[in-house]
Every structure is written in C-alpha cells, then in structure tokens.
C-alpha cells in the first residue's frame, strides 16, 4: 500500500533530531509539524521572518500581522522571535537551519530539483525555494513517486526548469525512501506491500538496491 | 527634526509616471494600504514595482494592477491574482521573478551602501543566466546588484515624528529592508508618537532612512489565508 501524505510526513519526522531548526515548505512538508516527537525540542523557521512557529490559532484569535510563508494565520510559541526577510535568508544561507523539507515536481538522481516552473503554464515564482535549496545543509524532498499520468518524478535528469542543482539529500515518496548518492537513488525503505520491482519500474533515474530493503512500519 | 506629512496623498505627491517603487509587505501582511490607495487616486502610471508579491485581485498592489498603473513587477511570487495573470499573458505587464532571499538582500545591499552581493541562490538555473558567477572556496555564487529605487513605501506599527520605526510580528518582513533602500522613503504607521516616546533599543528602522511619515487610517489588514485549528 502506498503511503498517505500523512504517512510521508510521519516518516520524514523520524529524521528530526533534538535541537534542530527546521524549515517546512508548503503541502506535505507542513504536515511534518504534526509528528514532532513529544519531548523533542524542534524550532520551526518560517522564511517570512519567524523562528518558533506554533500551530494555527483558535477561531477568533487570528492575527493579520502573524502569518507563515504560505500566508496562513499562525501562532507563536515560547521563545519565538521575529525578524526581517534579509535576516531570515541570512540564517538560511549561513547554514544555521538544520533541515529543509520541501515538495518537488521532479528530482534527478544527482540531487537536482525542479519545483517552480512548468513551461507553457502561468509561472507564479520561486518564492524562497531557490535560496533554501542553494544553502540548506540537509534537504529532504516529500513528493509522490509518479505524476498524475503515472510517469516517474525520479529522473536521470530534470526536464523542467531547475530550482537548484545537486542539493537534495533524501527523497520520501508514497512508495519509498531513497538517499541520493554518487551512484544515484539508493533505496532505503519501501512502503508496506510495495515491491522492489514496482519501485524499480517507477524510478526512471539510476536506482541502487543493495541487500534487504525493509518495509516501512507505522504504529 | 520633523518628518511628518499630512497624509498619503501629500506623501506620494511627487511620485511621477515611470517611477520605480519599492512596496513593503509579504502577501497582504504589512502592506502600505494608505499609500496604495493614494497611488490609485493619483492614477500615476508606468510604474515599476519591487515587492515580494503582487497582492490579490481586489487588494494590495492588485488595486494598482486593476487600474493598469504597473508596467513591471519585480517579485518572488505572484500567484493568487487573476488580473495579474491576464495582463502578463497579454503582454501588458512585464514580470521579473527573483528568489525571495535575493530580493531581500538586494534591498539590504542598497541600504548598506554596497553595490552588489554574492548569493548561491539560482546558481545553475535560469536565474543565473547572464550573471557573473564567482567561486569562493569551491562553491559558486551569483553576483546580484543592489536595487536602485526612486521611492520606498513601507508600513510600520509605530513611528515617531523623526521617522524612527517599529514593526509588529511578521508584518516586519521586507519593510525595514525597503525603508533603508529607497532614495526617498515614505512610512505610514498605525500609531504616530512624538520623538522620544519610543524606546531607542526597540527601534527597528532608524529615522535617518525615512523622509516622510504619517499616521495611516482605516487599516483593513486583510487576511489572505485564514486558517484555524479546532482544539
């Protein structure tokens, strides 16, 4: 069974470590915040200018001056701090953010990522994605393994305009967890009941399969 | 020293057709609502607007787009605006998309008196085409130029008569950076106080960067994505 979006987020949350500062992109990455292990200190960075992002507010407590990078109303937590957008990207560029999680349209087997532009369609812009992928020390991509047409999104080379080059470290899809290595995608784990053959068939880029590949388990 | 002007129409009176403006805000958060309304009233045209976003159809910079006052937008993300899309596809509007951190830091450079910055954002992508690339310690960086804007228009929470500014929460965003970067900087504030009433340690933008200030009125502070939890 392929993973749900919630399960993809749950799996990515296992990469979190005590004391991490984390930037979560829009979509599946946002859900990772729901699975931070209790007792672990993780501070969420919102690139519009906030460290220490809390949950959505209760109805009636929305504050127009307090939003996240997706323009959603949010709250602060104990120890939150606000800053301007240059400082925000300064801490990103300087490598202070430990982990960046974002979505993608395509990832190549050398870690290139495309997630901002489809030729022929209205281009909305890259926002902060190019800054994040160019500087983050550890980048995990959360996405579906294939596009709605069933075509692989894990490619030998991206076909869409790039967001960043040789930057993605790990990909978590609905079918598998894969590291990016000099030899290509290395299969680490597979979704429950999903065969290596299926993953191989749906991975267009170079795929390395070595030894036993455990199935993902969720409690 | 007193930088107070009567209101938004006076503050923007010398903005002429073809000017390059910086407009603070992220989405609809922290945008200079009063000055945008005055720019619409003045019907100044052929503007180049440097702003992270372009508003929505009926609010923010979208109000200026609806009047076809904007020739070019320089932004990092321009979604959520149907009229914007129509003008872009019909060729009436030019748009230059640049990474958000690059946008912020090009403002910073202008305010710090530096001609350019080096950033890794966009290396190896179409953003890097035609730009100088320099390698520092094995990593490539693009040279990006400081912005050159005729006017910066910002919104702050509190300000004093000398132009010192304090922002609130994430409405700070690009405002202090643009405040530093304009040849002429216009600040509208929710609360204007006499000089000496703001804690000097708490001021985000020193008044030396600000040329005109006024107390805004009737802030709508529209929320773009109202999102709540149930428990």
- List, in sequence order, every residue forming a beta bridge with B20; answer none if it has no partner: B48
Residue B229 located in a structural domain:
no
Per the CB < 8 Å rule, is A67 touching B223? yes
Task: Give the domain CATH number at B183.
Answer: 3.40.1080.10
| B62 Cβ contact list (under 8 Å, min separation 6) | B54, B55, B56, B81, B83, B84
**Chain B contact set for A64 (CB, 8 A):** 28-29, 171, 221-223
Given pLDDT bands bounded at 50, 70 and 90, which one contains residue B204?
Answer: very high
Residue B16 located in a structural domain:
yes
**Chain B contact set for A72 (CB, 8 A):** 225-227
- Chain A nearest CA to B120, separation (Å): 6
Could you give the C-alpha distances from A13 to A26, A40, A63, A170, A218, in angstroms and in order? 15, 11, 28, 13, 12
Per the CB < 8 Å rule, is A93 touching B120? yes
Q: Least CB-CB distance to B170: which of A65, A129, A135?
A: A65
Tell me which residues of chain A, numbers 147 to 166, contact chain B at a CB-CB cutoff of 8 Å.
Answer: 161-165
Residue B94 located in a structural domain:
yes
Q: Is ipTM over 0.85?
A: yes
- Chain B nearest CA to A90, separation (Å): 8
To which H or E segment does residue A31 belong?
helix A28-31
Per the CB < 8 Å rule, is B170 touching A123? no
Model pLDDT, residue A122: 82
Per the CB < 8 Å rule, is A72 touching B204? no
Q: Least CB-CB distance to A93: which of B119, B177, B204?
A: B119
Residue B231 located in a structural domain:
no
Per the CB < 8 Å rule, is A67 touching B125? no
- Chain B nearest CA to A74, separation (Å): 7
Given pLDDT bands bounded at 50, 70 and 90, which one contains residue B45?
Answer: very high
Model pLDDT, residue B231: 76
Give residue B36's region: left, alpha or beta (phi > 0; psi -120 to 50).
alpha
Q: How many CB pairs under 8 A join A and B?
A: 168
Burial (0-12, 13-18, 19+ Cβ within 10 Å), A162: buried
pLDDT digit string, tens, across residues B107-128: 999 999 999 999 999 999 999 9
Chain B contact present for A127, CB below 8 A: yes
Asked if A56 contacts A33 with a C-beta cutoff of 8 angstroms, the reply is no
Model pLDDT, residue B81: 85
State the 10-residue block means of pLDDT for chain A, 219 residues long.
96 97 94 95 97 96 96 96 98 96 97 93 92 95 97 98 97 98 98 97 98 93
**Residues of A noted as catalytic:** 47
Given pLDDT bands bounded at 50, 70 and 90, which one contains residue B63?
Answer: very high
Chain B contact present for A62, CB below 8 A: yes
Overall number of domains in chain B: 1
Residue B220 located in a structural domain:
no
Per the model's pLDDT, the better-predicted residue between A82 and B82 turns out to be A82
Chain B contact present for A98, CB below 8 A: no
Residue B137 located in a structural domain:
yes
Q: Any idea which of A169-173, B14-18, B84-88 has the lowest mean pLDDT?
A: B84-88
pLDDT digit string, tens, across residues B144-168: 999 999 999 999 999 999 999 999 9
Model pLDDT, residue B89: 85
Q: At what angle do helices B100-112 and A85-93 cross, to 10 degrees?
A: 110
Q: Least CB-CB distance to B101: which of A65, A124, A128?
A: A128
Model pLDDT, residue B201: 98
Query: Tokens in use for B160?
Result: 């004093």
CB atoms within 10 A of CB B155: 32
pTM higher than 0.90: yes
Average pLDDT of chain B, as a whole number: 97
Model pLDDT, residue A206: 98
**Chain A contact set for B101 (CB, 8 A):** 47, 85-86, 88-89, 92-93, 128, 130-131
Model pLDDT, residue B88: 87
Is the pLDDT confidence value at B79 over 90? no
Per the CB < 8 Å rule, is A71 touching B126? no
Model pLDDT, residue A120: 84
| Residue from A41, A37, A44, A39 nearest A21 by CA | A44
Residue B50 located in a structural domain:
yes
Per the CB < 8 Å rule, is B27 touching A67? yes
Q: Summarize the confidence of residues B76-84 as an average pLDDT.
A: 87
DSSP codes of every residue in chain B: ---B-S-HHHHTTT--TT-EEEE--BTTBT--HHHHHHHHHHT--SEEEE-S---BTTBTHHHHHHTT-EEEEEES---S-HHHHHHHHHTSSEEEE--HHHHHHHHHHHHHT-SEEEE-TTTTSGGGTTS-EEEETTEEEEEEEPP-EEEEEEEEEEEETT--EE--GGG-TTHHHHHHHEEEEEEEEEEEE-TT-S-GGG-SB-GGG-SEEEE--------SB---B--
Distance CA A213, CA B16 (A): 66
Distance CA B47, CA B86 (A): 18
Domain of B67 in residue numbering reads as 8-215
Torsion of CA A151, A155, A156, A159, to 10 degrees: 80
Residue B196 located in a structural domain:
yes
CB atoms within 10 A of CB B223: 19
| B164 Cβ contact list (under 8 Å, min separation 6) | B195, B198, B203, B205, B206, B207, B210
């Amino acid at each position: 069974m392929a993973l749900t979006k919630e399960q993809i987020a749950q799996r990515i949350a296992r990469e979190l470590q005590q004391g991490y500062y984390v930037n979560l992109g829009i979509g599946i990455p946002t859900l990772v915040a729901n699975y931070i292990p209790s007792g672990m200190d993780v501070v969420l960075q919102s690139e519009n200018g906030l460290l220490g992002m809390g949950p959505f507010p209760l109805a009636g407590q929305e504050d127009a001056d307090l939003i996240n990078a997706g323009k959603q109303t949010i709250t602060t937590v104990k120890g939150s701090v606000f800053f301007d957008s240059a400082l925000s990207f300064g801490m990103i560029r300087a490598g202070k953010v430990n982990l960046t999680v974002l979505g993608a349209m395509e990832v190549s087997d050398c870690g290139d990522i495309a997630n901002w532009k489809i030729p022929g369609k209205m281009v909305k812009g890259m926002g902060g994605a190019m800054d994040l992928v160019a500087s983050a020390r550890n980048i995990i991509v959360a996405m579906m393994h294939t596009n709605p047409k069933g075509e692989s999104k894990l490619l030998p080379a991206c076909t869409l305009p790039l967001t960043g080059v040789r930057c993605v470290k790990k990909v978590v899809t609905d079918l598998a967890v894969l590291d990016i290595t000099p030899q290509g995608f290395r299969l680490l784990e597979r979704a429950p009941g999903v065969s290596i053959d299926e993953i191989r068939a749906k991975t267009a880029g170079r795929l390395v399969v070595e030894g036993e590949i455990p199935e993902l388990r969720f409690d | 020293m007193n930088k107070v002007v009567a209101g938004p129409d006076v503050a923007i009176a010398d903005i002429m057709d073809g000017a390059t403006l910086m407009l603070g805000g992220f989405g609809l958060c922290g945008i200079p609502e009063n000055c945008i309304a005055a720019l619409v009233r003045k019907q100044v045209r052929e503007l180049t607007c440097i702003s992270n976003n372009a508003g929505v159809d009926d609010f923010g910079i979208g109000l200026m787009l609806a009047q076809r006052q904007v020739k070019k937008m320089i932004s990092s993300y321009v979604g959520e605006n149907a009229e914007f899309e129509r003008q872009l596809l019909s060729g009436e509007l030019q748009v230059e998309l640049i990474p958000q951190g690059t946008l912020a830091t090009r403002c910073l450079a202008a305010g710090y008196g530096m001609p350019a910055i080096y950033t890794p954002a966009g290396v190896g992508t179409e953003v890097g085409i035609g730009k100088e690339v320099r390698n520092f310690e094995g990593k490539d960086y693009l040279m990006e130029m400081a912005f050159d804007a005729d006017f910066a228009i910002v919104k702050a929470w509190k300000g004093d008569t000398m132009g010192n500014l304090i922002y609130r929460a994430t409405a700070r965003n690009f405002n202090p950076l643009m405040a530093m970067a304009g040849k002429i900087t216009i600040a509208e504030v929710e609360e204007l106080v006499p000089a000496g009433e703001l804690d000097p340690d708490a001021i985000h933008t020193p008044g030396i960067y600000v040329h005109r200030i006024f107390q805004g009125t009737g802030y709508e502070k529209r929320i773009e994505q109202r999102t709540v939890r149930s428990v």
